[in-house]
Amino acid sequence: MVRDVRNRISRLAAVASGAVLTLVLLDVVSGQQNTGNTTARQDAREKAKEKIDAAKESKQGARETTRDAREGARSTARDDRQTTRDTRADSRDTVREDRQTIREARRDARAARRQFIASRIRSGDLGLWLRRAANGLTVSDIANNGAISQTGLKEGDEIVSVNGQPVNSERDFVDELFANHESNKPVQVVVNRNGQRQTMTIQPQHFVDEHVSRDDRLHDYGLLLDESNPNRVKVQAVVPRSPAFYAGVRSGDEITAVRGQRITALADLIKQFASLGNSGTTSVEVNRNNQTRQLDIEIPDERIATDEQPDEARTALKPATGSTAPPLLESPNRSGTPPAQQPQPRTNPPR
């Protein structure tokens, strides 16, 4: 009995010992697995951290690269804007210099226009038309108004000499007529009229005064007049962008008064314009289709007129005359306008 108990106890102890040993082995294996798992997790964490750090560094590098690129682009844009500003400033300076040069050139041209240059004058500019004849020059027509109408010359007169110098061409006549005009001395012109020689005294200064006054002020206002009728001041054309244009003056208008003063002849208009100042406006009365109209016209400033009214625009409607024009071969009509130029107004030569 006791032996059986001992055997049972021995078997129980053996079983218990095996169980304990098994538990111990399980603990050892479990510990080893836990240690391996921990190491693996640590390795994984470290690798993940390395990847994260690498990604952060890459992202930071990309940001820095982007930042540098943006800063470079901004710097380039600033440089480009500055270059553009400098270019525009240089361009404005160049334009200003060019404009100043143009203004000075126009002032010089205006000053030159104020000077009477005989070599640029033709007889037609004086209101006198000549044709060659066997014995020299013959007056084919003469204007019935202006300084030429006061000389005594008549249609059909044969011009023999000017101040004792024989003349055989229009150029000879004009050159001799104004050879000494600065001395303000009269000129003796010998003509053959109806078979008899007559001597006429002509004052060239009258032509000079008429040329200067008419050439400047009328064109400054932008007016081209029909001079066929000395008792009317009729507008034949208005220069675009001129004081007359902006005042509303139209082709066909008859100017009847300036600043309340009646205008009955071209000389009256020139005198009235000459008496005005260089700024402001003045009233002009015109007759249009038998109706009286009151207009306000700007007085052009002589100092800046050429800057505001380019010579090209101011003379755009003027007929081409001058030393290069061919001589007149036909007799002009009695109105004083050569047929080749009708219906254009007679004007002074180009300057």
Same domain, 198 and 210: no
CA distance 100 to 172: 40
Select from 78, 93, 114 the last residue of a domain: 114
- What pLDDT digit, counting tens, does each position of 7-32 carry? 777 777 776 776 766 776 677 666 66
CA distance 184 to 195: 31
Same domain, 197 and 210: no
Same domain, 44 and 99: yes
278-287 average pLDDT score: 86
Centre a 10 Å sphere on the Cβ of residue 252 and count the other Cβ atoms it contains: 14
Same domain, 36 and 131: no
Task: Compute CA distances 317 → 172, 237, 266, 332, 343, whole Å.
Answer: 29, 8, 19, 21, 12
SS3 52: helix
- What pLDDT digit, counting tens, does each position of 106-115 carry? 565 555 555 6
The reply to whether 329 falls in a domain is no
CA distance 206 to 159: 20
CA distance 192 to 189: 10
CA distance 340 to 325: 11
252: amino acid identity, one letter: G
CA distance 237 to 224: 5
SS3 224: strand
- Which of 244, 157, 238 has the alpha carbon at shortest distance from 202? 157
Same domain, 110 and 9: yes
More confident residue, 339 or 296: 296
304-319 average pLDDT score: 40
Residue 290, token pair as written in the block: 């038998």
Residue 132: phi and psi, rounded to 5, are -75, 140
* Omega prior to 343 cis, within 30 of 0: yes
Which residues, 6 or more positions from 189, have their beta carbon under 8 angstroms from its beta carbon?
Answer: 151, 153, 159, 161, 162, 177, 199, 200, 201, 202
- What pLDDT digit, counting tens, does each position of 245-254 carry? 999 999 999 9
- What pLDDT digit, counting tens, does each position of 58-83 carry? 888 888 888 888 888 888 898 889 99
282: amino acid identity, one letter: T
190-215 average pLDDT score: 82
What range does the domain containing 172 cover? 118-203
The reply to whether 102 falls in a domain is yes
CA distance 111 to 305: 12
The reply to whether 327 falls in a domain is no
* Residues paired with residue 284 on neighbouring β-strands, in sequence order: 258, 295
Select from 203, 232, 267 the last residue of a domain: 203
The chain-wide mean pLDDT, for the chain, equals: 76
The reply to whether 337 falls in a domain is no
Report the CATH number that the domain containing residue 180 is assigned in CATH: 2.30.42.10
Residue 102, token pair as written in the block: 């143009």
Count Cα neighbours of 227 within 13 Å in the Cβ-side half-sphere: 24
33-54 average pLDDT score: 79
CA distance 200 to 41: 133
The reply to whether 336 falls in a domain is no
Same domain, 34 and 90: yes
* Residues paired with residue 136 on neighbouring β-strands, in sequence order: 133
Chain centroid offset of residue 153 CA:
46
Residue 224, token pair as written in the block: 């081209």
Number of domains in the chain: 3
- Residue percentage of the chain with pLDDT more than 90: 15
- What pLDDT digit, counting tens, does each position of 127-176 carry? 889 998 777 789 999 888 778 888 889 999 899 899 889 888 889 899 99
Residue 303, token pair as written in the block: 């100092």
The reply to whether 272 falls in a domain is yes
- Which of 121, 112, 199, 123 has the alpha carbon at shortest distance from 163? 199
Residue 86, token pair as written in the block: 């400098």
The reply to whether 339 falls in a domain is no
- Which of 163, 267, 254 has the alpha carbon at shortest distance from 213? 267
